[in-house]
Structure formats: structure tokens, C-alpha cells
Amino acid sequence: MTTTDAPATEDTSPDGADPTAQAQAPSRLHGFFRDPRWALAMVRATVLEAAHPAIGAALVENSTFVAHPWRRLRNTYQSTQRMIGTDPAVREWEAARLNRMHARLQGTDAKNRPYNAMDPGARAWVVATLFESSVTMFRLSGQPLDQDFVEELYEEFRAMLAAMGDDPGLLPDTVPEFWQYFDKVVATELENTEAMRVILYRLFEHLPAPPLLSSLPTMWVAARTVAAPLVGMVAVASLPEPFRRRAGLPEIPGAQTVMQGAYLSVGLVRYLPSSWTDPDNIIEFLSAAPGSDQPAARTLAAVQSQIERAGALLRLLSPLHDQDEREAPSATTVSPAAAAQRKEAEDFFRQVLDQTGNGSLDWPDLAAMARELSSRLNLDEPQETRLYQAFADWWHELQAALDTDGDGSISAQEYAAGAPAMAGPALIRVAEVLFEATDRDGNGQIDPDEYRVLFRTTFHRDTADGNATAVTRSAFVKEFVAFMAGRKRTTPFDPLLAEA
């Protein structure tokens, strides 16, 4: 099910996968997966998924796709690689991990309707949108697939549903029957959900810069201002017309032409050098952290250096603003130290604690942290459950200490007022459980290789105990607690939970 955050890992063979398992021949899905048009097809499929009431509720309540879209993209990419890969052991491991993750996602939506990410009908609809959008991708590009190919592709998608442990019979047996099923769901079950509106009208317009471009905000905002409306227009125009009409989506003159032009243009990208369009390279660039040892980070650092020099020269040549053009002082005087402290607290709340981006700290935010850490470390069920339980205990501790109005969530104001209470025994236990999960060989310290798995960068030697070869248990716990309590922003932990 692609509507929630899926795992990410540096290697493609999870611990526990049988290396002797016989690999299967690459499927037709592999070619689709590396086609540039797949990006447009995935946006369309995600919108159709989000329009399903149960899936849309799970997205809004639990997913980090708004606050951390680039992390979500990498995680989904890595998970999809595993599910369509040729190693059956890896596929089985990933399916089990996804099922554990989905089993934790349940609740009620804004209309008080229960939702459960393990709902068979909803899971079948996710696979259905991927198949239908794949076929539509070629049709809109002027290259419709022949019927035999479509039927073979459909069987591969039904096999994907079976690999997740669901009955492939949840989707019709034949392609003609599938189109009837698809049209019926579109006509009777899809809604103009909040999740769908967020994707179409908020996500791209407020899309944060990828980590490597975070130091170029002006350039990013300029590019986003141009691209976001086009992406939204293309997504809306590609949706089934009956649903657009029923959901009240706008009909923009020329949108169909723009949409078809987008699919045709993106299709031409596949004729560029493969190193430019390779999904692995693109995902590495979009998710690499500044200062890391990844090639994309080193290349961009050199480019940024030249841009910064040009910017400095431009500022020297620009006239100074007149004093009366500056912002007038506030009627309420706040000391610089207090203002800086408040700004730091607000940034930490927004960037780290509010993982789902809904403006408050709730259990889904801490669950998202546990999910991300479990994914990075490829945790199996026992360790994964221990980490979730540690975060759940911390959530109960935070509620008792910070939820002063008793509404079940913690606001930014409540956090700012009671931040010192965040570093209680439960948070220390989270740090200890995370250390034990990272210390895979059990030698009592995090070695460079173990460090790279968690932080996706080379060993950072500025540790609390000054150890230049490994991170001890006490140093790790001290640094993690200081970070999560908002006391000290650190280079290793910022990319782990704060970056988009």
C-alpha cells in the first residue's frame, strides 16, 4: 500500500533475507519503474488513492508526506524496488514489514468513519490505481499499449497484491472486468477528501526544498512558483472526467493540452544520457544531506560555493535600503535573547516534532519517528515493536507533562512552555532502545558501519565523549536526548528527523 511512509535503506537486501533464494527474471514493471513518465503516473495514482475515504484518512492522520516529502519519496522508492525486485526473499521480507506498518494505522476520519490500512478493499484499490495509471501514462503519451501487453501487466499487478498477502481475487480476473470495477469505484466510492486537496493544492505549492538545495531558498521558491501550478493542472486534467465533475474540480481552458504536452515532453527525457535520468541518481540527489559524503552533496557544494560568491558580489553592488523601508519595531519589546529562543523552539517543533505537519504534536508524529528509524535500520518484528513501544511510552509521558488543556494533543505553545519536561525517563529509554537496535553486533558501541546505516553518512567524530572511532552508549543517549528535548541541534540527528 503506497499511501503511507515506506522503508528506506542503504542496501537492497534486508537482514534476514535468504541469500540462496532463487531470483526471478525481471518483470515488465522494471521498465515502467525507470521510465521518466512514471513520475507523472505516480502523482496521478496517489491522487486517486487519496480520494478513497479510508486511504485519504490514513494519509492525513499518519503520513509525513506534507512535512517531509523528499524523505517520503526516497522511502517509497526503496520499498517499491524491493516489491518489484527479482529476489523473492527480499520481496517477502518487505511485504511483511509493510503489513506490520499498515496494521498500526487505524482510527476514524473527520466524518467519524473508521479506517484501517489493512482493509482489503483499500489495499486492492492502491494496486488498481497503479495499474490503471501505468496504462494511462502510455495512452496520454500517444503510445497506447497493445492488449496482450496490458493483460500481462495486469497479472503482474495482481501478483503484487498476492505478495502482500491479499487475495488477488479482490481485483477482477480479466482486464475488461477490471475497467468496469475501476469505473464503479470512481463513480461510487471516491470523494473530494482533504488528503486529495492537500496533494493538488498545497503539497506542490508549499513543497520544501530538497536538503541539498535548502541553502538556495530564493532559487527554489522561484522554480516552485512556476512549476507547482503546472503540476497541479496536469494532475487534475489527467483524472477521470466523471470524478472531476462529481468532485467539483476546476475545468481550466487548455488544461488537457498542457497535460498531454507534459506527458509527451517528459517522455522525451528518456532519450537523454541514462546517468541523467537514472532513478537511483535522482533519488540520491533529492535525499542527500548537505555535508554528507555522497557524490551529489560534494558536487552541489562546489556549485553553491560559486553561487555564494556571486551573491556576495551582487550585495556589494546593490544600494542599501532606506531606513524608513525597514520593518517598524513591534509595540511589544522583546529582548533579542528571548526572541531567538522562541524562534529556535518554534523551528524545532515544526521541523522535528510535528512530523505530519498538522501544527500539533500527536501520537502519529512519534509513530512516524519510530517508523522512519525502523526503516533505516531494517528492524525485524521484535526490535521494531520495542522501538514503537518506547515511543508510545514517551508519548504518554509527554501528554501527562505538556497537554495542559487536556485536548489529547500538544500545541506549539504548550511545548514552548514545558519543553524542559521532554527529557524524562521515557525519552532516555527511547535513546537506549535505538542504541541497541543500531548496535547490531552488540559490542556496546556504534561502529562506523553501523553509524552509516542509521545516519547515511560517514562517522561524525564530534561526539559527546570525544571518541574518534565509535560512539559509546552513554554518548549516544546523551546526544539523542539533548536533541529530542530541543536543547541542542546536532549535525547527525538533524538529517535523521528534521530534513524534508
Over the stretch 176-201, which tens digit does the pLDDT of each residue have? 999 999 999 999 999 999 999 999 99
CB distance 466 to 478 below 8 Å? no
- pTM, to two decimals: 0.82
Question: Residues 197-222: pLDDT tens digits?
Answer: 999 999 999 898 887 787 788 889 99
Question: Residues 431-445: pLDDT tens digits?
Answer: 999 999 999 999 999
Angle made by CA atoms 483, 484, 487, in degrees to the nearest 5: 50
Which of 271-278's residues contact partners 24+ apart within 8 Å by CB, and which partners? 277/36, 278/34
Hey, CA dihedral for 89, 95, 98, 99, is it positive or negative?
negative
Q: What is the 3-state secondary structure (H, E, C) of 48-74?
A: HHHCCHHHHHHHHHHCCCCCCHHHHHH
Kindly report the number of other CB atoms within 10 A of residue 23's CB atom: 11
- pLDDT, averaged across the chain: 84
Name the residue with cell 562517522: 459
Angle made by CA atoms 456, 461, 466, in degrees to the nearest 5: 140
- The percentage of the chain sitting over the pLDDT mark of 90, rounded to a whole number, equals 54
State the average pLDDT over residues 449-468. Answer: 72
In the CATH scheme, what architecture does the domain 337-498 have? Orthogonal Bundle (1.10)
Statement: residue 97 has pLDDT above 90:
yes
Of the given ranges (122-126, 224-228, 381-385, 495-499), which has the lowest mean pLDDT? 495-499
Report the alpha-carbon distance of residue 301 to residue 309 in Å, rounded: 12
Q: Which three cell numbers stand for residue 408?
A: 489529547
DSSP state of 415: H
Report the alpha-carbon distance of residue 255 to residue 181 in Å, rounded: 27
pLDDT value for 223? 92
Statement: residue 318 has pLDDT above 60:
no
Domain edges within the chain: 28-274, 337-498
Statement: residue 2 has pLDDT above 50:
no
Q: Which three cell numbers stand for residue 18?
A: 535468504
Question: Residues 18-61: pLDDT tens digits?
Answer: 433 444 444 677 777 778 888 899 999 999 999 999 999 999 99
